[in-house]
């Protein structure tokens, strides 16, 4: 019997559920971003905890006894999915001996189910290609539209588990959407035409024309306005983690500092990156704080580029206090360049 199974057995013997509040939902999320959104949607109806801190890389988290303790009493387990947690989630769920949160049960929510997915491989994948995910790039939460989709999925699952809290949860969801839409397009424009219409035009790639037809282009605000001058620009990133955010605002990622996902930068690859940056006029390198800055800073000196270090998750830096602030910070950093 492994150490996780031993821990689970001892917990059961000690009396599972001791001190549990039968009315308040216990939610455990795999990342801090999901935890922040879940807390906004559940409000006072739930206690929300995250397995991964914003300063940790969720790809390489290790299954810990403390994580099994969190999972043991959870009513709802919410994962990013798309194989992000594949290295550590299965032993945690098995060790928890909590039937409510196993895959396929009502208490297990894969938040990726309805999101827009990018970088989905067109054929078989293998470890030779690096840390490639068969279901696509799992960093989808950095697309504000996907955060909206995830919030809606969370609300429906919470209501399914606790029908009595439906009114409160739907009210929380509406407030979350209104704030997110306001940050994306500007609160005044959202109040005038509605977030759903703006997102619909944005997803179709017709937002600019749609606004011009209604003589409303001057009223666009929020992240969309701040990022508009950068549309069409190219940004080099350390890992394939910023694709969703950059493509949402019309920017392109031509290459990463990693030669393959999860593989550290090599001298030969960095030379190729430098050549591409010179040739295509790329002047921005974007990465998270938990990656070493040495390669990015050395490359920036060679090609006269700027290194932007921004949190890709809630808690990744002291300033990244919630999901909205995470997007605020990276938009502000890029818009200043």
> How many CB atoms are located within 10 Å of the residue 96 CB?
26
Q: What's residue 282's pLDDT?
A: 97
- Beta carbons of 288 and 310 less than 8 angstroms apart: yes
Residue range 253-288, pLDDT digits in tens: 999 999 988 888 899 999 999 999 999 999 999 999
- Which position has the higher pLDDT, 170 or 133? 170
* Confidence tier at 234 by pLDDT (50, 70, 90): very high
Q: Are the C-beta atoms of residues 141 and 322 closer than 8 Å to each other?
A: no
Q: Which two tokens stand for residue 217?
A: 């282009």
Helix (H) or strand (E) segment spanning residue 267: helix 267-280
Give yes or no for residue 25 having a pLDDT over 80.
Answer: yes
Query: What is the predicted pLDDT for the residue at 216?
Result: 92
Is the fold of 3-175 the same as that of 229-335? Answer: yes
- Could you give the CA distance from residue 3 to residue 184 in angstroms, rounded to a whole number? 46
* Alpha-carbon distances, residue 121 vs 94, 112, 134, 169, 258 (angstroms): 29, 16, 6, 36, 18
Lowest-confidence pick of 100-114, 119-133, 166-180, 227-241: 119-133
Does position 124 have pLDDT exceeding 80, yes or no?
no
pLDDT score at 131 = 62
Distance CA 202, CA 220 (A): 12
For the chain, the domains span 3-175, 229-335
Mind listing the pLDDT tens digit for each residue in 43-90?
999 999 999 999 988 887 888 899 999 999 999 999 999 999 998 999
Q: What angle do CA 17, 18, 21 make, to 5 degrees?
A: 70
Q: At 122, is the secondary structure helix, strand, or coil?
A: coil
Q: Which helix (H) or strand (E) holds 181?
A: helix 166-185
| Fold of the CATH domain 3-175 | Rossmann fold (3.40.50)
Who has greater pLDDT, 135 or 130?
135
For residue 76, what are its two tokens? 């709802």
Q: Give 130's pLDDT tier (boundaries 50, 70, 90).
A: low
For position 23, what pLDDT does the model report? 78
Query: Which of the listed ranges 2-11, 115-124, 325-334 does the model predict with the highest average pLDDT?
Result: 325-334
19 in Cβ contact with 80 (< 8 Å): no
**Does residue 14 surpass a pLDDT of 60?**
no
Q: Rounded mean pLDDT of 309-321?
A: 96
Section 28-42 average pLDDT: 98
Does 3.40.50.300 match the CATH number of domain 229-335? no
Q: Which of 21-25, 90-94, 203-207, 273-277 has the lowest mean pLDDT?
A: 21-25
Q: Is the pLDDT of residue 230 over 70?
A: yes
Complete edge-to-edge strand list for the sheet that includes strand 46-50:
46-50, 25-29, 76-79, 108-110
- pLDDT, tens only, 168-199: 999 999 999 999 999 999 999 999 999 999 99
- Please state, in angstroms and rounded to a whole number, the distance separating the CA atoms of residues 175 and 180: 9
Whether the CB-CB separation of 85 and 58 falls below 8 Å is answered with: yes
First and final C-alpha spacing in the chain: 55
Structure tokens at 56: 């940790």
Q: Considering the chain, what is the average pLDDT of its residues?
A: 91
Give the rounded percent of residues in the chain with a pLDDT score beyond 90: 82
Token code pair at residue 302: 């060679």
């Amino acid at each position: 019997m492994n150490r996780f199974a031993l821990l689970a057995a001892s917990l059961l013997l000690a009396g599972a559920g001791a001190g549990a509040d039968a009315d308040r939902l216990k939610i455990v999320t795999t990342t801090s971003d999901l935890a922040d959104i879940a807390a906004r949607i559940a409000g006072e109806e739930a206690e929300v905890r995250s397995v991964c801190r914003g300063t940790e890389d969720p790809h390489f988290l290790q299954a810990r006894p403390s994580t099994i303790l969190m999972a043991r009493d959870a009513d709802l387990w919410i994962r990013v999915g798309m194989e992000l947690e594949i290295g550590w989630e299965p032993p945690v769920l098995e060790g928890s001996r909590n039937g409510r949160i196993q895959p396929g049960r009502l208490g297990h929510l894969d938040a990726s189910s309805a999101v827009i997915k990018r970088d989905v491989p067109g054929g078989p994948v293998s470890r030779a290609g690096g840390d490639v995910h068969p279901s696509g790039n799992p960093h989808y939460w950095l697309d504000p539209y996907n955060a909206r989709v995830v919030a809606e999925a969370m609300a429906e699952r919470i209501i399914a588990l606790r029908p009595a809290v439906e009114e409160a949860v739907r009210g929380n969801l509406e407030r979350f959407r209104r704030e997110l839409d306001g940050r994306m397009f500007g609160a005044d424009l959202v109040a005038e035409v509605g977030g759903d219409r703006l997102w619909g035009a944005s997803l179709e790639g017709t937002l600019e024309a749609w606004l011009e037809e209604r003589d409303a282009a001057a009223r666009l605000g929020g992240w969309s306005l701040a990022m508009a001058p950068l549309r069409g620009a190219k940004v080099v990133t350390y890992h394939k983690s910023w694709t969703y955010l950059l493509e949402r605002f019309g920017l392109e990622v031509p290459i990463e500092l990693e030669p393959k996902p999860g593989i550290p930068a090599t001298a030969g690859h960095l030379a190729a990156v430098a050549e591409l940056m010179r040739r295509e006029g790329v002047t921005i390198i974007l990465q998270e704080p938990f990656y070493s800055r040495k390669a990015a800073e050395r490359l920036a000196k060679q090609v006269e580029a700027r290194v932007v270090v921004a949190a890709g998750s809630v808690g990744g830096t002291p300033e990244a206090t919630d999901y909205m602030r995470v997007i605020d910070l990276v938009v502000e950093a890029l818009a200043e360049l």
